[in-house]
Chains A and B, each alone.
Chain A
Amino acid sequence: MNRETAPGTPKISVRGLKKSFGHKLVLDGIDLDIGVGESVVVIGGSGSGKSVLAKCILGLLPADAGSIKIDGEEMVGRSTSERERVMRKFGMLFQGAALFDSLPVWENVGFGLIQGHGVARREAKKVAIEKLASVGLGPEVGELRPAELSGGMQKRVALARAICAEPEIIIFDEPTTGLDPIMGDVINDLIIACVRQLGATAMSITHDMASARKIADRIAMIYKGRIIWSGPTPEIDRSGNPYVEQFIHGRAEGPIQMEVRAS
């Protein structure tokens, strides 16, 4: 993993990242470093730019300005083929699972191996069934279609798909949104187990504080397109930042709400 990069180089390094949609400035100079093997959770309210940040890092959205380095390699402005090579280091768990409806579950899980890494279908199926087992799903689930699964099972299949090709970096977009608290905790445990087992670097996006506290080594809060606070997970309760305090306690009153009213 990361043999070719200098020691101490962050796995992901974002500097001055800007992204607008029309006149709406969504990311306004994001600075964020994620170290090798570190699990960072980005928290923030709806529409604060969390998902856009993840999509820019993945190259799904082009950045307007700034720098995104993966293992020290600049990604902004690179050609599609060069980005595709680096993309092989990534696994992604989408908010809505984003499973392919037309394929059975096992083929969803093994998709990256078959299409991206040229693994034979039979071999990929074997690996997919193993990965399904690692997220607590039996081999019979592999033959079902995604539409036949519950929301929690779909998230688990999506997690199995994200880890199937053993990526170096995994991005989790709202992994527990839409799940009941128990299933949410099951997913949190699975994320921790999978990331530890792979030794992967993880970046998660959530507004679920229970999930953030459980899976993060470090938490960063995004507000109005900027990282306004970042620190180790235990320190979030004594951040001294009124925005962070309002967010983690879920208070209606505070600087965030006042500015929403003002706009």
Chain B
Amino acid sequence: MGPLLSFLASIGAVFLNGLAASGRMAIFTIRAISHCVRPPIYPRLILRQMIDIGYYSLPVVGLTALFTGMVLALQTFTGFASFAAESAVPTVVVLSVTRELGPVIAGLMVAGRIGAAIAAELGTMRVTDQIDALTTLSTNPYKYLVVPRVLAGTITLPALVLVADIIGVFGGFLVSSYRLRFNPAAYIQRTADFIQTNDVMAGLVKAAFFGFVVALMGCYFGYHSRGGAQGVGAATTYAVVSASILILLLDYVLTALLFVGR
């Protein structure tokens, strides 16, 4: 085989591998969704995952949202002061946090915390034959491992984002009131005037998609991990990186669908 042909062959192999990986991921997604709507469902496991994903992520998501709101108020103030438009700070903070920053920041933090944990747990179960053991004990691993995590991620992330929205707006309020000398009552009034139910709801819809993606990526890469500790480490990295990229990609698609042309 000539050098040109082998170069083209290697490009073709990469392309085919990419297609095969996309196909595997699509089949995994369809299987996961189909098992979500077919019994048996394990409520006890879903609840446990909701506590893991939601309750235990509260501190990290809350802190991130608080500082994001605070920084946003500071940056908006310094930028808008050039146009004597400082009064727009409450509006910018509430719209940015509810529409965009709350869902994305919470999604990325949960991808790091939960996506990695799911991939590591399922990956370890795979390489130690625990997933095969489930099958031999008449238990479908999709139903027992994947469905509770995917459902819990989809249900829980909107609740987390709601909390992140409140804390993020509160962070902006704190900085504006105590550092930027805004009148607290006027700030709250302006926030209330500009907050829209649709904005909050759209943010929560985004969050549901992000929660689904984070849990799904963790499950997919963990479930298919190979090769001992190194394989589990690689699965964890792939899960976090792909969930983060998909969150940003989905964010654009959902923003275009939910906000543009409204």
Contacts and interface: CB of A to CB of B under 8 A. Distances in A.
Interface of A: 55, 58-60, 80, 84, 87-88, 90-92, 94-96, 98-101, 111-112, 115-117, 161, 165
A94 B130 CA distance: 9
Contact of B136 (A80, A91, A95, A96): A91
A101 B131 CA distance: 12
Contact of B132 (A80, A98, A161): A98
B135 A87 contact: yes
B137 interface: yes
A99 B129 CA distance: 9
Contact of A96 (B128, B137, B138, B139): B128
Contacts of A91: 136
A58 B136 contact: yes
B25 to A, nearest CB: 19
A35 B202 CA distance: 63
Contacts of B136: 58, 60, 87, 90-92
B135 A117 contact: no
**Max chain A C-beta neighbours (<10 A), residue from B125, B130, B144:** B130
A55 B136 CA distance: 10
Given A59-B135, A99-B133, A165-B138, 4 more contacts: A60-B132, A98-B132, A111-B137, A165-B137
B140 interface: yes
A55 B129 CA distance: 11
Contacts of A92: 132-133, 136
B91 to A, nearest CB: 47
Contacts of A84: 138, 140
B138 A87 contact: yes
Contacts of A88: 138
Interface of B: 124-125, 128-130, 132-133, 135-140, 144
A100 B130 contact: yes
**Max chain A C-beta neighbours (<10 A), residue from B129, B139, B140:** B129
Contact of B135 (A60, A99, A165): A60
B133 A94 contact: yes
B138 A55 contact: no
A112 B138 CA distance: 7
A46 to B, nearest CB: 16
22 contacts: A55-B132, A58-B132, A58-B135, A59-B135, A60-B132, A84-B138, A87-B136, A87-B138, A92-B133, A94-B132, A94-B133, A95-B129, A98-B132, A99-B130, A99-B133, A115-B139, A115-B144, A116-B137, A116-B138, A116-B139, A161-B137, A165-B137
A189 to B, nearest CB: 23
A116 B133 CA distance: 12
Contacts of B135: 58-60, 87
A151 to B, nearest CB: 13
A116 B144 CA distance: 11
A160 B115 CA distance: 34
A101 B127 CA distance: 13
A115 B137 contact: yes
Contacts of A112: 137-139
Contacts of A117: 138
A7 to B, nearest CB: 28
A96 B144 contact: no
A98 B128 contact: yes
A88 to B, nearest CB: 5
Contacts of A59: 135
Nearest to A59: B135
A254 B16 CA distance: 44
Contacts of A98: 128-130, 132-133
A96 B140 CA distance: 21
B179 to A, nearest CB: 46
A59 B138 CA distance: 12
B219 to A, nearest CB: 15
A115 B138 contact: yes
A71 B138 CA distance: 18
A87 B129 CA distance: 16
A95 B140 CA distance: 21
A23 to B, nearest CB: 15
Contacts of B132: 55, 58, 60, 92, 94, 98
A87 B124 CA distance: 24
A112 B134 CA distance: 8
Contacts of B130: 98-101
